[in-house]
Amino acid sequence: MAQTPLALIVDDEPDILQLLGITLSRMNIDTRQAENLGQAYQLLEKHEFDICLTDMRLPDGDGIELVEHIQNKHPELPVALITAHGNMEIAIDAMKAGAFDFLSKPVDLGSLRNLISAALKLKQTPEQKSKANSKVKKQLIGDTPVMKHLKQTILKLARSQAPVYINGESGTGKELVAKLIHYKGPRADKPFVPVNCGAIPSELMESEFFGHKKGSFTGAIADKKGLFQSADGGTLFLDEIAELPLNMQVKLLRAIQEKTVRPVGSETEINIDVRILSASHKNLLKLVDTEEFRKDLFYRINVIELKVPPLRERTDDIPKLANYLLEQLAKSQGLGVSSLSDTALAELKRYDFPGNIRELENILERAITLSMGEQIQQEDLNLGTVTRTQESDTDQSSAPSNMPQRSGLSLDEYLEKIEIQEIMKALEEANGNKTQAAKLLGISFRAMRYKLKKLQLD
């Protein structure tokens, strides 16, 4: 029979200790209680706990000290902080220090139950772990020190409920990192819902995120669940979060803080339990400075920031990554696995990869076709743009050698010509997919649509 879980609760108010003790025992959880840090440290030495709940203010210190102590001495033990209502700053500090989650006073029973069940799931059996792992079809390849560190951080963050903001250039693997954080954590058996914030037309955003009632606007022919509800119990991944219009940022912040949503046209709020992961290739802090991104939302989603390095900063990963991608491509095309000649590999190691791993995938896919089943040669890679042997490593703004001639054109006409050339190139690389092409160019989907129209390319 499975052992009854054991919780450590730390609070200097005997009434609260008693209340939490009774509540947890109704959930079949045994408790040990401490009224201060000193007692908590002693109990931690004596027992093997499954979860710890601590108040912030204690007679001999604060809850964050306890979080830090547990991080150092018992890193496997999930600890949650109970904070005064609305004190988000402390909750965020606690999560930065390694708290698994937080609860606001007065403690809501539903939230407590969700928190406890997520914490207990961290003690997964090896079978449960491998079942969850099998849901991520792709692996994060890379053995360079930065990638090793990234993989370790992912495992650590998977155990927490803290919001994580993933920053990195287009195609570096931000979505893959988000998926791994979800599937390696206690929410793995609930949905992972990715959403590209730049691809939803602004007039539909509220209904997409929060759902709508039938008849609430023209076209609302039936009730519709929003993305938050679809992700309930799991993770909502807000990709390209910098593209959210300001009015939507306010609504999103409210939903995250209150843990409720109200579908368009509905009178009632619905409770939701969703972990928020977000990503962008832009510098969000700069957008906060220029007031294009709300500071309060920035601090709420950016409790932990994770950087995914560009491929050009870890060229030693290229051989392994290329082989892995060639295997994946062979599988999806039902063909034999191609290999790369030494010169082709050397050429890849010199290339700059502005589109990172997604670009490497595209290059290899094209090269497989060109090599017609033989070993892939340097010329099959067709790397038309500048490689790092031709230009210095640091000068990333250098122009490709196939720039159009300016002769006779005004500056505006010339710039337009370059714009058309770059857009066409990105569209070709993305096989005509506008969302992906926009990503390669580092612009929003809306900006892409606008440019295609303006330049009469659509």
Ligand X SMILES: Nc1ncnc2c1ncn2[C@@H]1O[C@H](COP(=O)(O)OP(=O)(O)OP(=O)(O)O)[C@@H](O)[C@H]1O
Name residue 167's amino acid.
Answer: N
Polymer length in residues for the chain: 458
3-state secondary structure of 438: helix
Q: Residue 221 — φ and ψ, nearest 5°?
A: -85, -10
Smallest distance from the beta carbon of 26 to ligand X, in angstroms? 43
* CB-CB contact of 163 with 304 (8 Å): yes
Cross-strand partners of 304? 164
Print the binding letters for residues 208-247 with ligand X: x by CB under 6 A, - otherwise.
-------------------------------x--------
How many residues touch ligand X under the rule CB under 6 A: the total is 21
Smallest distance from the beta carbon of 83 to ligand X, in angstroms? 33
Residue from 159, 182, 439, 451 touching ligand X (CB under 6 A): that is 439
* CB-CB contact of 150 with 140 (8 Å): yes
Distance CA 35, CA 21 (A): 13
Q: Residue 322 — φ and ψ, nearest 5°?
A: -65, -45
168 scored as a contact of ligand X (CB under 6 A): yes
CA atoms within 13 A on the CB side of 32: 19
Distance CA 417, CA 448 (A): 16
175 scored as a contact of ligand X (CB under 6 A): yes
| Chain residues 303-322 in contact with ligand X, contact rule CB under 6 A | 321
* CB-CB contact of 131 with 62 (8 Å): no
Residue from 182, 281, 312, 314 touching ligand X (CB under 6 A): that is 281
Nearer to ligand X, 174 or 300 (CB): 174
Report the residue closest to ligand X, judged by CB. 173
* CB-CB contact of 279 with 242 (8 Å): no
Contact segment (CB under 6 A) with ligand X among 14-22, 36-44, 171-179, 266-274 equals: 171-179
| Chain residues 121-150 in contact with ligand X, contact rule CB under 6 A | 138-142
Neighbouring C-beta atoms of residue 406, cutoff 10 Å = 13
Nearer to ligand X, 80 or 357 (CB): 357
Contact segment (CB under 6 A) with ligand X among 10-18, 257-265, 355-363, 364-372 equals: 355-363
Smallest distance from the beta carbon of 253 to ligand X, in angstroms? 23
Smallest distance from the beta carbon of 175 to ligand X, in angstroms? 3
| Chain residues 416-435 in contact with ligand X, contact rule CB under 6 A | none
Smallest distance from the beta carbon of 326 to ligand X, in angstroms? 12
Smallest distance from the beta carbon of 252 to ligand X, in angstroms? 19
Q: Residue 20 to residues 91, 102, 112, 116: CA-CA distances in angstroms?
A: 19, 15, 10, 12
Distance CA 262, CA 10 (A): 35
Residue from 54, 161, 167, 170 touching ligand X (CB under 6 A): that is 170
Smallest distance from the beta carbon of 166 to ligand X, in angstroms? 8
Distance CA 346, CA 369 (A): 20
Nearer to ligand X, 81 or 241 (CB): 241
73 scored as a contact of ligand X (CB under 6 A): no
Q: What element of type H or E holds 390? A: none
Nearer to ligand X, 103 or 438 (CB): 438
Query: Minimal CA–CA distance to 426: which of 359, 329, 342?
Result: 359
Nearer to ligand X, 161 or 167 (CB): 167
- Contact residues for ligand X, defined by CB under 6 A: 138-142, 168, 170-176, 239, 281, 321, 324, 357-358, 361, 439
